[in-house]
């Protein structure tokens, strides 16, 4: 029992960063933009939040956790939205190929994260290991009282506020896409921009808004990893391939943010299941880590084979729109 509770806790802990990325990417893909820059954007978001709170803690004698957390969130949102803006300008306005721009952005963003993560202490005058314990404590604060309940406490209430925010955002994203006029318009843009354009929808504005806000949401996943998961430190390439898992999760969830919630926990579980299978040596553990990707491939193949209309990627995904080219 104890073991199962720990497993669920750890699976959720692994899944939340991926969930942020997937929710952001769903918004982006619904507008017809396949943003492969999300892994880089998550690096940018993570390191920017860390840097913001780092300089705040460095400059104050008694830093307050709340202010540090606020600064971290704002820095993350700004930096990752900037990443989304670069992508948007190049693909929407300049009509560059989306895959090419996305991959360049991931190269840039990952380098950005690792460069500043590895150099920031040097740039700040050699203060040693960067660590923002005070700010991280705000991110790691559990719900008082509720988290001490047996079983229910650790499974449902033992997380920081970003965990709950990620789930709330996914639910809101689902409602936005499926229950509002603007969500309908956004989906129309992703399915058939020419028709949407003819219906009087501002295609570029929707694409920009969805891509930039999607990037900002994804960036929070990087911040979650740095603050709540690592406790306010940075290790180069520590975020690993979670950004690509977020893109995989979009496929697993079939572009539905609600499915992404449980999907993220499944992915989180698959990601760490090797720890819980007895008798594995180190080499075999590495093979188990490919499970999330294999599952995604299987889902991809099955959905393409069944070819059901409501379970396909947005029809215009990956192609840019030029009004005069119809």
* Contact flag: residue 122 with another protein (CB under 8 A): yes
Cα 152 to Cα 225: distance, rounded to the nearest angstrom: 24
Shortest distance, position 136 Cβ to another protein, whole Å: 22
Q: Around 121, how many Cα atoms within 13 Å sit in the side-chain half-sphere?
A: 12
Residue whose token pair is 């930096």: 79
Those residues whose C-beta lies under 8 Å from the C-beta of residue 28, and which sit 6 or more positions away, are 34, 35, 38, 84, 210, 211, 214, 215
Q: Which stretch binds another protein (CB under 8 A): 19-27, 90-98, 144-152, 205-213?
A: 90-98
Query: What is the nearest approach in angstroms of another protein to the Cβ of residue 104?
Result: 4
Stretch that binds another protein, among 9-17, 84-92, 202-210, 265-273 (CB under 8 A): 84-92
> Which SS3 state, helix, strand or coil, does residue 73 take?
helix
Which of 39, 10, 22, 2 lies closest to 274 in space, CA to CA?
10
Task: Pick from 96, 133, 143, 254 the residue near another protein by CB under 8 A.
Answer: 96
- Binding of another protein by 254 (CB under 8 A): no
Find how far residue 156's CA is from the centre of its chain: 21
Q: Are 15 and 195 in contact (CB under 8 A)?
A: no
- Tell me whether residue 60 or residue 323 sits nearer to another protein (CB atom): 323
Q: How far is the CB of 318 from another protein (least distance, A)?
A: 7
* Distance from the Cα of residue 206 to its chain's centroid: 20
Judged by CB under 8 A, which stretch of 12-20, 139-147, 222-230, 302-310 contacts another protein? 302-310
Residues in contact with 320: Cβ distance below 8 Å, sequence separation at least 6, in sequence order: 91, 92, 95, 96, 97, 98
> Which parts of 232-251 interact with another protein (CB under 8 A)?
236, 241, 244, 247-248, 251
Which one of 19-27, 109-117, 178-186, 261-269 is the stretch in contact with another protein (CB under 8 A)? 109-117
Positions 15 through 54 that interact with another protein (CB under 8 A) = 34, 36
Residue written as token pair 């490919």: 290
How many whole angstroms separate alpha carbon 216 and alpha carbon 221?
Answer: 9
Binding residues for another protein, rule: CB under 8 A, are: 34, 36, 86, 89-90, 93-97, 99-101, 103-112, 114-115, 117-119, 122-123, 236, 241, 244, 247-248, 251, 282-284, 286-287, 289-290, 293-294, 296-297, 300-301, 304-305, 307, 313, 318, 322, 324-325
């Amino acid at each position: 029992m104890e073991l199962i509770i720990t497993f669920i806790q750890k699976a959720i802990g692994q899944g939340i960063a991926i969930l942020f990325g997937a929710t952001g990417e769903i918004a982006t893909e619904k507008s017809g933009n396949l943003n492969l820059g999300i892994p880089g954007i998550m690096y940018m978001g993570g390191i920017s939040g860390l840097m913001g709170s780092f300089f705040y803690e460095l400059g104050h004698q008694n830093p307050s956790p709340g202010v540090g957390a606020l600064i971290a969130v704002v820095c993350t949102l700004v930096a990752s939205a900037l990443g989304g803006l670069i992508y948007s300008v190049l693909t929407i306005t300049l009509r560059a190929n989306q895959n090419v721009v996305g991959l360049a952005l991931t190269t840039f963003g990952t380098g950005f994260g690792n460069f500043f993560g590895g150099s920031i202490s040097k740039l700040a005058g050699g203060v040693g290991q960067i660590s923002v314990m005070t700010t991280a404590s705000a991110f790691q604060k559990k719900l008082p009282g509720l988290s001490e309940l047996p079983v229910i406490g650790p499974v449902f209430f033992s997380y920081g506020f970003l965990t709950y925010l990620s789930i709330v955002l996914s639910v809101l994203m689902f409602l936005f896409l499926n229950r509002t006029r603007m969500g309908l318009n956004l989906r129309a843009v992703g399915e058939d921009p020419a028709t949407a354009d003819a219906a009087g929808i501002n295609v570029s504005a929707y694409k920009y808004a969805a891509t930039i806000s999607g990037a900002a949401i994804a960036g929070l996943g990087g911040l979650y990893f740095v603050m709540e998961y690592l406790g306010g430190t940075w290790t180069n390439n520590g975020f690993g391939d979670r950004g690509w898992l977020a893109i995989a999760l979009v496929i697993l969830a079939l572009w539905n943010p609600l499915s992404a919630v449980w999907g993220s926990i499944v992915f989180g579980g698959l990601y760490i299941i090797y720890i819980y299978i007895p008798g594995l040596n180190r080499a075999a553990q590495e093979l188990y880590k490919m499970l999330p990707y294999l599952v995604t491939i299987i889902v991809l193949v099955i959905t393409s084979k069944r070819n059901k209309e409501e379970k396909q990627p947005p029809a215009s995904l990956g192609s840019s729109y030029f009004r005069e080219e119809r």
